[in-house]
Amino acid sequence: MSRLPAIELANATGKAKDLLTAVKAKLGIVLNMTKVMANSPAVLEGYLGLSGALGGGLLDAKTREQLALATAQENECNYCLSAHSAIGKMVGLTPEQVVESRKGQGVDARTTAALTFAQRVLETRGGISDNDLAAVRQAGFNDGEIAEIIAHVALNILTNYFNKAAQVDIDFPKVSFAEIA
């Protein structure tokens, strides 16, 4: 059971209700994570804003999901692993590619370079080396794409830490960080 209450759309008021209504309109459902984030409309609005902005960025949906999976695995977030395993399949990742993404292996050399770079951002807490930056550039990523990789890591750290700290109830088929093929 979640450590913070889930705000149900039917009981929400004010800004929280507006934001949860927008989530339902976009996704058709209101995820438990967003219900718990609604305890602070500022948190939910911040998450939705950054997530929406990055969703319209330079990186494709498969790459974004692979970054989310690699970050969630590193941060041991079962909620996010469960969510992004399901979403990854929806955007075209095979079950094998979902597992490989968790290990930092992409569907191709370019994506693997992005995941390796993301892992370095995580491992160094943002203190990447010139060599890390050169490697991701060598793989063909431009500065805008590199900025987005860093931002996706940060967004996923937010959701990973939020879901772990709040112990949000998982509303996807459950995946555990400890279970990796």
Question: Going residue by residue through the chain (181 aa), what tens digit of pLDDT does each one get?
Answer: 899 999 999 999 999 999 999 999 999 999 999 999 999 999 999 999 999 999 999 999 999 999 999 999 999 999 999 999 999 999 999 999 999 999 999 989 999 999 999 999 999 999 999 999 999 999 999 999 999 999 999 999 999 999 999 999 999 999 999 887 5
CB 7 within 8 A of CB 169: no
Q: Which of 19, 21, 81 minimizes the C-alpha distance to 46?
A: 19
Handedness of CA 136, 141, 143, 147 (dihedral sign): negative
CB 117 within 8 A of CB 136: yes
Phi and psi angles of residue 89, each rounded to the nearest 5 degrees, phi first: -65, -35
Protein fold of 61-166: AhpD-like (1.20.1290)
Quickly count: other Cβ atoms within 10 Å of residue 100's Cβ: 22
CB 72 within 8 A of CB 80: yes
Tokens 């927008």: give the residue: 22
* 3 state DSSP class of 30: coil
CB 2 within 8 A of CB 167: yes
Give me the pLDDT at residue 179, please: 85
Q: Which of 167, 147, 155 minimizes the C-alpha distance to 43?
A: 155
CB 59 within 8 A of CB 147: no
Give CA–CA dist 159/156, Å, rounded. 5
Structural tokens at position 53: 């902005």
Phi and psi angles of residue 99, each rounded to the nearest 5 degrees, phi first: -65, -45
pTM: 0.96
* 3 state DSSP class of 9: helix
Extents of the domains making up the chain: 9-55, 61-166
